[in-house]
Structure 1
Amino acid sequence: MTYPISYQLYSSRNFPPLYAQFPELKAFGYDAIEPWLPAYEADPRTFRQALDDAGLACHCFHMPLAGLIDEPNRFIDIALTIGATVMIPPYVAPEERDTTADYWRGLGERLAAGAERAAPHGLKVAWHNHDFEYRPLADGSRPIDLIFEGGGPDLWFEIDCGWITRAGANPPAELRKFADRIIAIQMKDMAPAGTTGDDGWAATGDGIINWGGLVPLFRQTAAEHIVTEHDNPSDWRRFAKRSIDHIKALGL
């Protein structure tokens, strides 16, 4: 099985104009764009047209948690306009985070409420992790587990292997634990310890993660898409091309 491969457009935020990159990304072999806010917000129809013109799709998109909770209809309309099927809130700002299990369980419940609103439109909701969800609370519980406990079976997961690695957690264990709810896999790579360039991230295959060892676990999940991302590349083209070449060489 091969997966559609998306390019997380956040990787290119420092290299406008973004739409001009779409034909190049298609030529590299990408199937889709995974956008982040605000790339699509000002004019979702124009964003969709740029995708269509380049022969690219949009399977998932990142959106604010507040948008899912407070403006669900607006973001459902955006999803339908740009062709996405998975709505992904990816972050809670540090000043909004609490240190109690009830807070993180409640976050899952809010995500589940958003998923319930989205479902009649054929849309799913997924959470995207960073590192903070893997830092145990005072009682030993992990926010990532509490989020999905509160979220129930209809909350999906876009798993970011790079942030899991940076948090000191174990990507194979997390892929196994959440296999049934992983809908997308971000193959973000981490540079060797001590690397200061590009904020310590690397193109997929250029870092420390053994992707070949993870591929069999990918295939045991419910994943529908593979996503590349780099939080701060100095050269977006190099990152994009090296990453997809490595992914395709793995048979994904």
Structure 2
Amino acid sequence: MTYRKAYQLYSSRNFPPLAAQLPILKAMGYDAIEPWLPAYEEDPGLFRQQLDDAGLACYGFHMPLAGLVEAPQRYIEIAQTLGATYLIPPYVTAEEREPTVSYWRGLGEKLARGAELANAAGLEVAWHNHDFEFVPLADGSRPIDHIFAAGGSGVKFEIDCGWIVRAGADPAAELRRFADRIVIIQTKDTAPLGTKLDDGWTATGDGIIDWQALAPLFEKTKADHLVTEHDNPSDWQAFASRSINHLNALGL
């Protein structure tokens, strides 16, 4: 199966202006970008125009969990302006996190309430993982399982394979476990743990993840596109180009 491919704009936040990156990404073969806050915040209409001018779409965007809880209508309207389907809260800070089942279930319940409002507008809410959701709590249970158990079937999943590996978990197992919930697959790759260069992240295909082995599992999910991301590339264009070329070579 051949997937549409998006680029997480956070990857090249340190190389402004962002608008100048868009035609470069289009020329590399990307179909869309996945922006993060604050890229689209100041003027969502202008941001949409810049995407249109470059021939790129926006399938989903990262947003604060607090925004989904406290200002859901604002972000629903941003999604409509950008033409996006997926509202994606990606993070809670270390200061916010509590090592309890009730905290993580509460997070899932917040996502569920936001998802209900989004669904009414024809949109979806998808949680994006880091590593901490896969680190067991004192009772041996995992935050990720509590999030989705409390969130219910309306809360979808943008799975970040690189962070799962960083957590010591198995992306293949998680792709199988959450297949019915996964709507976006982020093909983040990681160098061997302990690597300092570029904070240990690499282009897709240059790290320790066996994408050829994972690729057949993608079709078992509900994912309709893939997203490349690198948290701190020293050369964003080399990363972006290498990543999409590797995915294309795998027939994805």
RMSD (Å) for aligned C-alpha atoms: 0.6
Q: Distance in 2 between matches of 1:126 and 1:234?
A: 29
Q: Distance in 1 between matches of 2:176 and 2:73?
A: 34
5+ residue gaps, structure 2: none
Q: Distance in 1 between matches of 2:150 and 2:48?
A: 33
Amino acid at match of 2:125: V
* SS class of match (2:153): helix
Shift of 1:193: 3.3
Q: Is the 8 A contact 2:130 2:164 kept in 1?
A: yes
What residue is the counterpart of 1:33 in the other structure? 33
* SS class of match (2:180): helix
What residue is the counterpart of 1:81 in the other structure? 81
What residue is the counterpart of 2:24 in the other structure? 24
Q: Distance in 1 between matches of 2:195 and 2:134?
A: 22
Q: TM-score, with normalisation over the residues of structure 1?
A: 0.99
Shift of 1:120: 1.4
What residue is the counterpart of 1:247 in the other structure? 247
* SS class of match (1:248): helix
Q: Distance in 1 between matches of 2:170 and 2:117?
A: 33
Shift of 1:73: 0.7
Task: Find runs of 4+ consecutive structure 1 residues off by over 6 angstroms.
Answer: none
Shift of 1:194: 3.6
What residue is the counterpart of 1:183 in the other structure? 183
Kindly provide the CA deviation profile for residues 10-29 of structure 1, in whole angstroms up to 9, marking residues without a partner as x.
00100000010000000000
* SS class of match (1:126): strand
What residue is the counterpart of 1:216 in the other structure? 216
1:158 aligns with 2:180: no
Amino acid at match of 2:197: G
Q: Distance in 2 between matches of 1:60 and 1:228?
A: 13
What residue is the counterpart of 1:114 in the other structure? 114
Q: Distance in 2 between matches of 1:102 and 1:10?
A: 31
Shift of 1:245: 0.2
Residues 34-183 of structure 1: matches in 2 within 5 Å?
A: 34-183=34-183
Shift of 1:195: 1.9
5+ residue gaps, structure 1: none
* SS class of match (1:5): strand
Amino acid at match of 1:4: R
Q: Distance in 2 between matches of 1:3 and 1:185?
A: 10
Shift of 1:63: 0.2
Q: Distance in 1 between matches of 2:193 and 2:120?
A: 46
Q: TM-score, with normalisation over the residues of structure 2?
A: 0.99
Amino acid at match of 2:242: R
Q: Distance in 1 between matches of 2:147 and 2:193?
A: 30
Q: Distance in 2 between matches of 1:38 and 1:26?
A: 21
